[in-house]
């Protein structure tokens, strides 16, 4: 007897479905591995650049000032700025940064007059304690240390009495903003060579999970500074620093003042 057409279709459909199911069970299972997530972008929290109230041509040779700098309320470093060379080749400021014993870095930055006004960096070398001097990677205008204070662009809050470890000053109080929208207050006095800065405080708005701001205070001044970097610098070689466990990246250091924090 010939089956009716209406009973044949479900039977054939079931057979086809069963065949597909058995084929699927017999086929080897292909394991797929999800690609690893991309590494998190590193971030750096940058302190405001220490400004200068002077044209370095007007600063007496050998004058120096030392600052105690507190980053994010936790890390304190010492920085000493000294004018160690003057002449037709430019003015050289040596910045010595000490984060803790045996972690001293010296930057020798030579400034020359820029055609458009102000200054530009003609030479920038550094020396990690115990190593030979090395050329620093180029710095962009926004990274150049010691930008000149321009009273026409800053808010003059007033003239105030400021006491720090080295003494009491009648200092001009200026207010500025960083590119991150942080308020910066700086007190300057014409008797403090080579930068004029007595105190600087700043907010921190670069990372929401980090607390505290920045505070720089003058702790000592003097004269008769001489150059500490006295031998020619080798070309920049990050492998040398990596061997010492001091990798150099844009996030790690670009100039005399290191970032407050670098983290993935």
Residue 261 lies in a domain: no
d(C-alpha 214, C-alpha 204), whole Å: 7
Residue 154 lies in a domain: yes
Which of the two residues, 225 and 144, has the higher pLDDT score?
225
Handedness of CA 235, 257, 83, 68 (dihedral sign): negative
Residue 35 lies in a domain: no
CA distances from 153 to 175, 198, 252 (A): 10, 20, 30
Residue 27 lies in a domain: no
82 conformational bin, left if phi > 0, alpha if psi -120 to 50, beta if neither: beta
Segment 9-55, tens digit of pLDDT: 433 433 333 343 334 444 455 556 667 766 555 567 888 999 999 99
Residue 33 lies in a domain: no
Per-residue pLDDT, averaged over 220-236, amounts to 95
In the structure, what pLDDT confidence band is assigned to residue 246 with cuts at 50, 70 and 90?
low
CATH number at residue 71: 2.50.20
d(C-alpha 47, C-alpha 212), whole Å: 11
Residue 19 lies in a domain: no
Q: Tell me: pLDDT of 67 over 90.
A: yes
Segment 166-200, tens digit of pLDDT: 999 999 999 999 989 999 999 999 999 999 999 99
Which of the two residues, 45 and 161, has the higher pLDDT score?
161
Looking at the structure of the chain, the number of domains it has is 1
Q: Domain range spanning residue 182? A: 60-252
Residue 31 lies in a domain: no
Handedness of CA 212, 195, 160, 142 (dihedral sign): negative
Residue-averaged pLDDT of the chain: 82
Q: Tell me: pLDDT of 64 over 90.
A: yes
- Segment of 14-23, 36-45, 234-243, 249-258 carrying the highest mean pLDDT: 234-243
Residue 52 lies in a domain: no
Segment 104-113, tens digit of pLDDT: 889 999 999 9
pTM for the full predicted model: 0.79
Q: Tell me: pLDDT of 247 over 70.
A: no
């Amino acid at each position: 007897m010939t089956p009716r057409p209406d009973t044949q279709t479900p039977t054939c459909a079931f057979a086809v479905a069963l065949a597909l199911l058995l084929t699927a069970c017999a086929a080897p299972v292909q394991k797929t591995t999800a690609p690893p997530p991309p590494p998190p972008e590193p971030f750096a929290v940058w302190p405001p650049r220490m400004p200068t109230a002077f044209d370095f041509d007007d600063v007496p040779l050998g004058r120096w000032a030392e600052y105690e700098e507190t980053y994010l309320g936790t890390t304190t470093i010492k920085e000493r700025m000294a004018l160690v060379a003057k002449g037709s080749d430019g003015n050289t400021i040596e910045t010595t940064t000490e984060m803790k014993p045996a972690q001293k870095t010296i930057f020798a930055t030579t400034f020359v007059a820029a055609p458009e006004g102000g200054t530009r960096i003609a030479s920038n070398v550094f020396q990690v304690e115990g190593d030979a001097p090395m050329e620093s990677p180029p710095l962009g205008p926004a990274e150049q240390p010691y930008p000149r204070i321009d009273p026409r662009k800053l808010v003059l809050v007033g003239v105030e009495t400021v006491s720090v470890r080295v003494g009491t000053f009648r200092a001009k109080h200026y207010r500025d903003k960083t590119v991150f929208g942080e308020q910066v207050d700086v007190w300057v006095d014409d008797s403090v060579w080579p930068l004029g800065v007595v105190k600087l405080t700043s907010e921190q708005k670069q990372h929401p999970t980090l607390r505290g701001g920045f505070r720089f205070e003058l702790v000592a001044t003097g004269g008769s500074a001489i150059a500490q970097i006295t031998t020619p610098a080798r070309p920049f070689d990050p492998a040398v620093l990596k061997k010492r466990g001091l990798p150099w990246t844009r996030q790690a250091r670009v100039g005399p003042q290191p970032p407050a924090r670098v983290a993935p």
